[in-house]
Amino acid sequence: MKIEEIVEETPDIKTLRLVFLEEGMVNDFSFQAGQFCQLSVFGEGEATFCIASSPTRKGYIECSLKKVGKVTQALHDREVGDVLGFRGPYGNWFPLEGMKGKNLIFVGGGIGLAPLRSLIWNCLDARGDFSEIMILYGARSIADLVYKAELREWEARSDLKLVRTVDPGGEDGTWDGHIGFVPAILEKVSPSPENAILITCGPPIMIKFVLQAADKLGFSPDQVITTLEMKMKCGLGKCGRCNIGNIYVCKDGPVFTYRQILSLPAEF
C-alpha cells in the first residue's frame, strides 16, 4: 500500500492514510470495524495495527501508530508516497448487529481511540440504526489527544454527546473539558446501563479500571466490549505469541466482551 496522507496527531502518534497500489485491489478488499492488519517496512519488520478508519469509507484505510519501537519508528520516518507492505484484515470485529437500537457508550484512552474510531464512524454513518451515542475520551494531556479535528467535529454534532478529559496536570488554561482519569470521569458522568452497550479501548491499566467502573454502574459483562492487545507476529493462529488461555487474540479477538474476558486467565 502507498501512504497517501500523514496526520501528526501528537508528538509520538501519526495517522497514515493508505491506499492500495493496484487499482483493482480496493474492490476486492473489505473489512469490519475492529479488525487489524500487519504493516511492513521491509528490512525493519512487521507490526500489528488496528484499522482506524470506518469500513463505510471506501478506497482507503487509516492506521494510527504510536512511535514505541523498531517498526513504528520506521513507519514514523516514512513520507507520503512511500510504499508499505500490508496483510489483512485479520481477527474478529465489533458485533454491530447486536448494537443496533441500543445506546452506545464509547470509552477511549490515548491511542485506544483508534479502534473505536473505526466503529464510531461506522455507527455515525448509519446513525439512524442506533439510539443515543456518548463518546468519552481522555489522554495524558491536551497534546496527547488524538484525532483533534474529529473531536471538534463530534463536539459540534447534536446527535451525540462528547465528553473529553485529560489526566490531572495535563490541562492548560484553555481546556474546557474534564480533568481526571477516564475511569473516574466515567463514574462521574454515570451513563445508564439501560439498553446500552459500552465499548472501551485504551491502555491495559485504563481498561482494567473502566471495566470495574462499568460494573459499578450496573453494566453486565455482556454489555461491555473491549479489545485485547497482545504481542503478535503471524496473525494467523500459528506462532503462538498471542495465545492466552484457550484463545488466540489474532483469531478469537481482538474484540471480546467482558464476559469472555472474565473466563480468560488474567495475563493480558
Binding residues for another protein, rule: CB under 8 A, are 40-46, 66, 68-70, 73, 83, 85, 203-204, 229-231, 233-234, 236-241, 243-246, 251, 265-268
CA dist., res. 212 & res. 183, Å (int): 8
Assigned C-alpha cell, 257: 466482551
CA dist., res. 29 & res. 146, Å (int): 27
Closest distance between another protein and the C-beta of residue 232, in Å? 10
- CB nearer to another protein: pick between 44 and 155: 44
Closest distance between another protein and the C-beta of residue 88, in Å? 12
Assigned C-alpha cell, 36: 487489524
Closest distance between another protein and the C-beta of residue 52, in Å? 18
- CB nearer to another protein: pick between 45 and 170: 45
- CB nearer to another protein: pick between 105 and 145: 145
Q: 168: cis peptide before it, omega within 30°?
A: no
Nearest partner of 162 among 194, 180, 185, judged by Cα: 185
Nearest partner of 185 among 206, 204, 156, 154, judged by Cα: 206
Residue entry with cell 486467565: 265
| E strands present in the chain | 2-10, 13-19, 36-41, 45-50, 61-66, 85-90, 103-109, 133-139, 161-166, 178-179, 196-201, 224-227, 243-244, 247-248, 255-257
- CB nearer to another protein: pick between 44 and 187: 44
Closest distance between another protein and the C-beta of residue 196, in Å? 28
- CB nearer to another protein: pick between 63 and 162: 63
260: Cβ contacts below 8 Å, ≥ 6 apart: none
SS3 of residue 124 by DSSP: helix
Closest distance between another protein and the C-beta of residue 181, in Å? 16
Closest distance between another protein and the C-beta of residue 241, in Å? 6
- CB nearer to another protein: pick between 1 and 123: 1
